[in-house]
Structure 1
C-alpha cells in the first residue's frame, strides 16, 4: 500500500501544479481585476404548478398615489423570455427552483402527468429544483420518472401520450427525504462552478422539502419515505459543501412565509410563517435561501446569528408570475461573498378579463414577448386538450370566489359549493354530511356572463383527481376534527361543511375547546351517535393535519371530486352560489 502511494506522488504533484497553473493567482490579476467584484446571477422561481399558459392572474403593485395596479403575468413562454433577459444580464448564471413545479396544474399539463411542465423547465434552462410536497402527489416512483424519463405507468393516466418523455434535464434535490436505508431519494446537493477573471467560483446548492410533507400528501404516495428536520439537514450539509470548495451556499427549500406587504412583491414587512424558525436555527455558512410553498412573494434580509451578513431570503410567488433576480458579489482575491441583493421581476404577459374588469398591460414594469420555441411547445399540448377544456360543465348564478389573503383559512362560497357537491354525489351510499378543506381549493370559479362554466375551469379549481370517501364518525369525532382545524398545534383551517351542518367557534377560547355550537339540520349533534361523513381521500387519510379522520371507520370509496362538482352543476339549469354563513366566528381572534 505504501509503495503504491509513493509511486503516485509524482503524478499527484504534476496534477497539482497543472491545476495551479490553470488558475491565475490573485496577485497576477490585472489591477482592475483585483479591484472589481465578481458577480454571479442566481435566477430563481418556485411553485410553477404546470402553469403552461398565462394563469389569468395579476401581480399587484402600488402606484405613487396609493392606488393599486394589477399587472397581468405568467405563462411558460413569457417566463422563458424573462429568464433569457436575466441570463443576458448575468454572464455567470444559474437557474434554480424551490419546488412544486408540477401537480395542481393546468389541465393541459395535468392530463399529461405534467410531462409538458418538465418540458417547459428544460427549455428555460433550469438546473436545480428542490422537491416540493406536490411533486409527491402521484407517488415517489412517478417523481423518479419525471427525473429519469420513460413511460412506466405509475398512475391511472397513461404516460407518453403525446411524445416519448425523456425526463428532466435539471436535477431534483431532496436532502431531507430519506428512504428506509437512510439514503436520500434523490441527491441532497449540487454544485456549479464558474470560470471567471478571478479564477473558479463555485456555488453549492442544498435542496429539500418541508418536514410536514406527510401531512400534505396521501400516505400511499410516501410509503418507504421519511422526512428529516429541515434546519438539522441544512446545518449538516453546509460544512460538507464548503469542504468541497463552495464559495457560497444557496438553500432551495420548499417552505416559506408570508408578509404584510400585500401589494409589494419585494416587501418583507411582518415576515412570519414556518420558514422563520428554520432560519433562526441555521448555523453560519448559508448565504441565500430560496423558498416557496406559501405562494407569497418577498425579498428579505434575515439576520443570521454569528454571521457577518444576513441571509438573503426570497420567494417568487406562484405560477411563474414572478422570477427572482439574485446577484451575488465575490471578492476577486478571496472569493468571499461581499454583497448580495435580490429583486422579484414581474413576468408581464398578456391582458385578460377578470370579474372586476379588464386587466391591461402597464408601462410601469417591462412587458415580455413570449419565447417562440416555448410558445409552440405549449400550444401543441394546449391544442390537444382544447375540446376538453372548453366542454360545457353547467351554469352558476354568479362568481364563486376562493378566499384569499387573511381569509384564506376560512373557506367561502366556492368551498361551500364543493362540499354540497360532494354530499350530493354520495347520498346514495349513505352520506349525511360532507366537509372540504379550503386550502384544497386552488382558484376562483368565474362563469361567463350567461353563467356558463367549462370543465377546464372546474379542473383548475380541483386539479388533484381525489376520490371521495364516505366514513362513519361519532358526533364527538366530528367536533374533534373541526377543533383540529382551529387549534394552535398546526396551520389553522376552518373545515367547510355542507349546507345542512352549521357550527360556531370562538378563537379566544382555549385551543381544543373552541367549537361553541354544532348542529345538523338544526339539531345538535349527539356525541355518541354515528354519522356518515364524506371527505376527499386526502382528508380521510389525515391530510392537512386532520388526524381525526384517520380514526373514522367503515370507509367506502366514491367517485372523483371533479366529477361530483360537474354533476352538481349540471343537475339543474342554474346552480345558485351558496351565500350563507355555515361556520361562524364569534368575537375576535
Structure 2
C-alpha cells in the first residue's frame, strides 16, 4: 500500500488531470446545432361578418355528434386564439375574407371600424379580401386598411388609425393603373424556414356585389393568379406555400365540422388547376366547415361568424424548406371559456354607443321565424321580407316582390336577448342583423316572360347543380321541376290564382342589388321604368310594426316536383 505522505500529492495530481481533461472536452466556442425541423402554426377563421357579439339562432351554433353547441362571439374567439397561440411562438393568425360587411349594427353603425379594431387586438396578421369587403367600394376598403376619418365623421368619437394587419389578394387590379389593389403574397420567416402566403378573392365578385362596390376594379381568374404568385415564390426558393382564398366548397348539412364528407363546389377545380407544390388551402366564402386532405394537401373551411377556429400545424425541414408533416383541426369557439378582457372592453364600448338605437322594440313575433329553406327553397323569413318589400312599394304599383336568399343574414328568434326586450319582441338591432345591407328597394316593369327568365336563373346558380331560390311575396305562386331541362324548369306561374301572361307587363320590386343583375340574375336588367324606393331595412321594420305579432308563414308559395 502506498505511504500516506506520498499518496496526497498523487491524488491532487490525478484530480487536476481529471478537471483539465473535462474542461478540454467542452467546446466553449460553439452552440448546439439547431433542430432539423421548425414547427409553424397557422390559426385561421373566415367570414366573420362583424359578429362581435355572440350570434343568435342557427348563426351561432355548430353541429356536433352529440347535438348543437353554442359558438362564437369575439370575446370568446380572442380567448381561444390566445390559448392556441401560446402553444407555439411560430404562430400566424389569418383571415379568410369577409371579416366585415353584412354586419350587425354594432359594426355597421361604425363603418366596420369596431371590427377592424377587434382584429387588431386579437393580433390578426393577414387576411384575404372577401366580396363583402367591397360593400362600400374599394376606396372605403383602402381607408379601413390605412386609417383616416370616414366622410361622415368619427361615429365613435375616436380617430381611426387603420388595420394593423395586411389585406392580400393576387387577382384584384385597379383599372386606371393596372396595379394590384393589395399585395399578391407575403413571405414569412420562422427561425430560418420560409413560408409563402398567397391570397385570392372570389373571381365572380362583380356578380354578387353592387356595381358601385367594384367600380374601377378588375377581377382576374383565381387559378391563373395563384399559379403566377406560386411561380415567383418558387423562384425565390420558397418551398412551403399556403393559399388563403375567399372561395371554397360546400358540404351537406349533416357533415360535421371536422369532416370532409361530400365536399363539392368551386374549390375542387381550383385544387385541380393550381400548382401541386402548394401545401395548404385555407378557404372561405361558402360558410362551410370542413377539414380535408386532398391528394396530400390540407383544405379547410371554418364556417362563419367566428364559430370555428382552424389550427394547422406544419413541420418544415430546415434543410429542404419542405413540409415533412402537416395536420389540421377545426376547433369550436365555445362560450365556456373566460371572456377576453380587452375584447369585453371593446364590445361594451360599442354596445353602449349602439344601445339607444339597437334596443328599440320595433315589433313582435309569435315564434322563431327562420331563414332555413325547405325542399322547395322557400323559407318563412324569406316570405316575410318579400311581403314587407311588396307592402312598401304598392304605391308604386308593385304586385310581386323578390328577395335574394343570400341577403337574409340571420333568423328572428322568439327568445328575448340580453338587451331585456322580452320574449317575442323584436329590436331594431335584431331586425338590422337580418337585413344589414342598406339596399334600396327598386320597382321595375317586367314582362311575364322576363319573370320566367328570372326564375329559370335560380338553377345551376352559382354553379352547376346548385340553386339560389328567390323568396317571393304572398299571392305569387309557381312550380319548379328538378328533372326538367335547364330553361324549362318553371311552370304554373300565377298571381292571386290568375296565370301569368308571358306578354303582359307586371310591376315588380326587388332590391337594387338584384335589379343590377346580382347573384347571376341578369334577367332583372330587362326591367324598365325603374323607381328607387326606401332602404330595405326601413321597409322591414315598418312591416314588423304594422303587422305585429307576425307569425311564421307556411312557406308554401313555391311547389317543387321531381
- CA contact 2:49–2:98 (8 Å) conserved in 1: yes
1:335-375 CA deviation, whole Å, 9 max, x = no partner?
A: 221111110111111xxxxxxxxxxxxxxxxx421110111
**1:538 equivalent in structure 2:** 513
- CA contact 2:383–2:555 (8 Å) conserved in 1: no
Check 1:289–1:450 CA distance in 2 against 1; reply closer, same or farther (3 A cut). closer
Give, in whole Å, the separation in 1 of the partners of 2:516 and 2:285: 21
Check 1:488–1:253 CA distance in 2 against 1; reply closer, same or farther (3 A cut). closer
**2:342 equivalent in structure 1:** 373
Give, in whole Å, the separation in 2 of the partners of 1:456 and 1:110: 11
**2:379 equivalent in structure 1:** 412
Q: How does 1:423-462 map to 2 (within 5 A)?
A: 423-448=390-415, 451-462=424-435
**1:54 equivalent in structure 2:** 54
Q: Which residue, 442, 449, 469 being the options, matches 1:476?
A: 449
- CA contact 1:484–1:545 (8 Å) conserved in 2: yes
Q: Are positions 1:217 and 2:212 aligned together?
A: no
**1:392 equivalent in structure 2:** 361
**1:168 equivalent in structure 2:** 163
1:1-32 CA deviation, whole Å, 9 max, x = no partner?
A: xxxxxxxxxxxxxxxxxxxxxxxxxxx98478
Q: Are positions 1:300 and 2:292 aligned together?
A: yes
1:586 positional shift: 1.1
Q: Are positions 1:486 and 2:445 aligned together?
A: no
**2:102 equivalent in structure 1:** 104
- CA contact 1:541–1:550 (8 Å) conserved in 2: yes
1:125 positional shift: 0.6
- Size of the alignment, in residue pairs? 521
Q: Are positions 1:188 and 2:157 aligned together?
A: no
Q: Which residue, 289, 311, 327 being the options, matches 2:297?
A: 311
Deviates more, 1:465-474 or 1:275-284: 275-284
Check 1:552–1:339 CA distance in 2 against 1; reply closer, same or farther (3 A cut). same
1:576 positional shift: 3.2
**1:465 equivalent in structure 2:** 438
- CA contact 1:120–1:374 (8 Å) conserved in 2: yes
**1:136 equivalent in structure 2:** 134
Deviates more, 1:564-573 or 1:547-556: 564-573
Give, in whole Å, the separation in 1 of the partners of 2:345 and 2:135: 28
Give, in whole Å, the separation in 2 of the partners of 1:555 and 1:293: 31
**2:8 equivalent in structure 1:** none
Give, in whole Å, the separation in 2 of the partners of 1:158 and 1:314: 39
- CA contact 1:255–1:275 (8 Å) conserved in 2: yes
Match of 2:401, SS? strand
1:162-182 CA deviation, whole Å, 9 max, x = no partner?
A: 311111010011211111132
Give, in whole Å, the separation in 1 of the partners of 2:493 and 2:460: 17
1:227-262 CA deviation, whole Å, 9 max, x = no partner?
A: 111111111110201223423111110001122473
In angstroms, what is the RMSD of aligned CA positions? 1.8
**1:274 equivalent in structure 2:** 266
1:41 positional shift: 0.5
Q: Which residue, 527, 539, 552 being the options, matches 1:564?
A: 539
Give, in whole Å, the separation in 1 of the partners of 2:78 and 2:211: 35
Q: Are positions 1:495 and 2:466 aligned together?
A: no
Give, in whole Å, the separation in 2 of the partners of 1:435 and 1:401: 17
Match of 1:251, SS? strand
Check 1:586–1:260 CA distance in 2 against 1; reply closer, same or farther (3 A cut). closer
Q: How does 1:249-264 map to 2 (within 5 A)?
A: 249-260=241-252, 262=254, 264=256
Give, in whole Å, the separation in 2 of the partners of 1:435 and 1:314: 34
Q: Which residue, 320, 328, 351 being the options, matches 2:306?
A: 320
- CA contact 1:292–1:315 (8 Å) conserved in 2: yes
Match of 1:143, SS? helix
